[in-house]
A = this chain, B = another copy of it.
Amino acid sequence: MLDVNGRTYQLPKAPTVVVCVDGCEPEYIAQGVAAGSMPWMARTLERGTALVADCVVPSFTNPNNLSIVTGAPPSVHGICGNYLYDTASGTEVMMNDPKWLRAPTILAALSDAGKRCAVVTAKDKLRRLLGHGMRGICFSSEKADAVTAADNGITDVLAMVGMPVPSVYSAELSEFVFAAGVKLMQTRRPDVMYLSTTDYIQHKHAPGTPGANAFYAMMDRYLGELDAMGCVIALTADHGMNAKTGMDAKPDVIYLQDLLDEWTGPAACRVILPITDPYVVHHGALGSFATVYLPAGTDVAALQTRLAARRGIEGVFTRAEAAEWFELPADRIGDLVVISERFTVIGTSAARHDLSALEVPLRSHGGTSEQRVPLILNRAIPGIDRQRRWRNFDAFELALNHV
């Protein structure tokens, strides 16, 4: 038995794989199943446990991956976006460094308990956070050619997987994760493995389209192989994904910095988009969540009401409201949290977003409209409560405590 962040976990009885499929709106699975692209999934949904859970808002990759591996919301683990605004220095700081992490991971606790752990992520940005405090194997597809025994607990990953290092903007970046997972399970049989993909495909391809179904068919084959090796598999997602365009197929953007500049004066407010990271080609740093730092003396309630009345805005929350409702660390969000609707995204200033790289109509995430995610276990759980609110960060509980 392990106690991590106030929850109790049993030690794995069989090799256990927790999979976070980046941007996996549940509809991708429904369409993949309907198209016959996911035979393993179709059987698993019937014989195992299929729930639709809520992810953490902001429905972004890092906060949710950290929630899954800590079993806790961002108020506990501290990672509430890719970027943090340091009010003291007036600078935006990346939150990729483990120093921002406020809670231990279940993976670290398992490795402390003598269990052999392995983590494979698509992008390297997550690797250090996920592997923090954990002994074992931890590497990314993106930097698979640069692994060392000291840093990653493994060498020569490319030879093991039999694939070249994929482009950071490719379906192969995620395929590499699954292929590596299967090879690791075949050759080293870790007790616990965490696999985390990237949503490059989901940003470009809607559920049921050929590009999406091909991706999910690929995933289904690898998951079937892991299942055939006797693994317990819990699959969830960091967030969903929705089209974010107007009828003209162009991004439907509320340029919040421009709007606030108009209302309160140039640069009086500071809009932070925590989706921003070094890989913005596929979404132009446009998501459905922003946080705003206000100048002293602002009538917060009045601004909140005025913003909430804007077309395309789903909700505006004060810092205290957002911290409570979304379980966020109050000291790492702004004075307001702004969430846009299903088809709308929030930008800073029009001049600061380069949308020229968007080859297809924008699909993105970040808001409550992308909160629903799969939570699937390849084992039946008789009598499970289907009416309670399940979270994606219950994945380890399902995989360890209900098997």
Q: Which residues of A are at the interface with B, using a C-beta cutoff of 8 A?
A: 26-27, 29-31, 33-34, 41-42, 45-46, 50, 52, 206-209, 243, 245-249, 309-311, 343, 360-361, 372, 374, 376, 386-387
Contact = CB atoms under 8 A, between A and B. Distances in A.
Contacts of A29: 247
Contact of A387 (B26, B46, B311): B311
A154 to B, nearest CB: 33
Contact of A247 (B52, B243, B249, B386): B52
Contacts of A206: 206-208
Given A206-B207, A209-B209, A343-B27, A33 B311 contact: no
Given A31-B249, A52-B247, 19 more contacts: A26-B343, A27-B243, A27-B245, A30-B245, A30-B248, A31-B243, A33-B247, A33-B249, A34-B249, A41-B247, A45-B246, A50-B246, A52-B246, A52-B343, A206-B207, A247-B376, A309-B387, A310-B387, A311-B386
A360 B36 CA distance: 12
Contacts of A309: 387
Contacts of A46: 248
Taking each of A29, A34, A45, A247, which has the highest tally of chain B beta carbons within 10 Å of its own beta carbon? A247
Given A30-B361, A243-B30, A372-B343, A248 B45 contact: yes
Contacts of A30: 243, 245-249, 361
A398 to B, nearest CB: 15
A33 B31 CA distance: 23
A248 B34 CA distance: 8
Contacts of A34: 245, 249, 360-361
A130 B386 CA distance: 44
A188 to B, nearest CB: 31
Contacts of A31: 243, 249, 361
Nearest to A310: B387
A209 B207 CA distance: 10
Taking each of A45, A249, A343, A360, which has the highest tally of chain B beta carbons within 10 Å of its own beta carbon? A249
A96 B164 CA distance: 64
Nearest to A26: B247
A215 to B, nearest CB: 16
A321 to B, nearest CB: 20
Nearest to A389: B311
